[in-house]
Amino acid sequence: MTGLTNMIILDEGDNVAVALRDIAANEQARSASGPQLPAVERITQGHKIALRHIAEGEAIIRLGVPVGIATAPIERGHLVHVHNVRSQYLNNDEDHYE
């Protein structure tokens, strides 16, 4: 990983990458494996960024494994999180914290 690397693509078939550090809106998101794209919105460390357009109902693929279903179309460079993803199993996204 170089100093410029700020996201990781865990498997080459993934449609999301994970931010290794906070990525600001309009900042370039860069992976050590090569692909890069502009972050359309802020992607906080540990959060996911869409590497391509993801259609509503499509699986979110991380490390080659489906980890959720898109509940809305997600554009490339956008944050992929509970506002546009649901579980294939239990959903607890109404939990309160803080």
Partner 1 sequence: MNRGSSPKNTANMRGYLRADGRKGIRNFVVVAYLVECAHHVARQIAQPYQTAGAQLIGFPGCYPSDYAHRVMEAMCTHPNVGAVLLVSLGCEEFRRSALLEAVEASGRDAKLLVIQECGGTRTAIDEGRRWLEQTLAAAHAAPTVPISFGDLVIGTKCGGSDGLSGITINPAVGRAFDRLGDLGATLMFEETCELIGCEDHLAKRAVTPELGRELKEAVAKADRYYRDLGHGSFGGGNIKHGLSTLEEKSLGAYAKSGTRPLAGLIKPGTRPPHAGLYLMDTVNDGPVRYGIPNINDTQTITEMVASGCHMIIFTTGAGSVVGQAVAPVIKGVSNSRVYQRLADDIDVNGGTIADGVETVDDVAERILAEVVSLASRIPSKSESLGHQEFALNYKTYEPAGPACLPV
Positions that interact with partner 1 (CB under 8 A): 1-3, 5, 8, 10, 18-21, 44-48, 60, 62-63, 65-68, 80-82, 85-93, 95-98
Beta bridge partners of 79: 49
| Closest to partner 1 by CB, 8 or 37 | 8
Instruction: Note whether 48 and 9 are within 8 A (CB).
Output: no
The least distance separating partner 1 from the CB of residue 53, rounded to whole angstroms, comes to 18
The least distance separating partner 1 from the CB of residue 37, rounded to whole angstroms, comes to 18
| Closest to partner 1 by CB, 26 or 87 | 87
Nearest-angstrom CA–CA distance, 42 and 47: 10
| Closest to partner 1 by CB, 20 or 37 | 20
